[in-house]
Amino acid sequence: MSISNSSLPRYEIKFIAEPLEYHRVLNWLRQHNSCLETEYPDRQVNNIYFDSHNHHSYCDNIYGSSSKSKVRFRWYGNSKEPQNGSLEIKCKRNQLNWKLIYKVQEELGGCDWRTLCSEIRRQLPAEGKKWMEMNPLPVLINRYQRKYFVSRDKKVRVTLDSDLDIYDQSRKRFPNYSSKSNLPKVLVLEVKFPRELRDHVVHMFGGIPLRASRFSKYVSGFLSINH
């Protein structure tokens, strides 16, 4: 049985840029006087996003609901097929974000969607099963390369995501791991910090050569496969 975990509520600020800005953004992060340093080695992030049959999660994001959630299965590394990872429920209320995390330890690849979803549910506790029952539809898979940074006091975390790819899963019996959907390429810089540091972080990133922007990888991917 998997064990659930949760993250503390935090603020998140996102900055969006063109891919050609990659090295300029990276140099800014490395030279910034906040003393950001590498937190983890670079790695590929893979997500399966689930939704309800009426796409409740997508609609909440589009219409700006003050309380919303996204359900995804996440694993790391270069494997196209899901490996041991976690079912993550990303929750947002107003400006605060937190995650519920349910570990899935056994391998999941080599099967159709019905079997794969059943196998994930089998390894979840009751509350995790409930999230999947409410969001049974695999909508898309996305992948991207992520760099990790952290401040010296470990309170401010920064991620830089590039090479985002989307794979449409709608109306498919078997997972689509190879046929990409068309998606405008973007860089996504995300700053994550506890609520008491909001003013400090706004000042700290005031000089970054990017504009803060609302952006959801799930919403962007959904639009790309349903245009």
Q: Are 146 and 44 in contact (CB under 8 A)?
A: yes
Q: Are 30 and 141 in contact (CB under 8 A)?
A: no
CA 111, CA 162: separation in Å to the nearest integer?
29
CA atoms within 13 A on the CB side of 125: 11
Mean pLDDT by 10 residues, the chain (227 residues): 68 94 92 82 98 96 88 96 94 92 87 95 96 97 97 93 97 95 93 92 88 92 91
Q: What is the pLDDT of residues 83-93, one digit of tens each?
A: 889 999 999 99
* Domains in the chain with CATH codes: 4-225 (3.20.100.30)
Q: How many whole angstroms from its chain centre is CA 18?
A: 19
Residue 69 has a pLDDT of 95
Query: What pTM, to 2 d.p., does this model score?
Result: 0.94
Nearest to 112 by CA among 168, 51, 170, 172: 172
CA 138, CA 129: separation in Å to the nearest integer?
15
Q: What is the pLDDT of residues 120-173, one digit of tens each?
A: 999 999 999 999 999 999 999 999 999 999 998 899 999 999 999 999 999 999
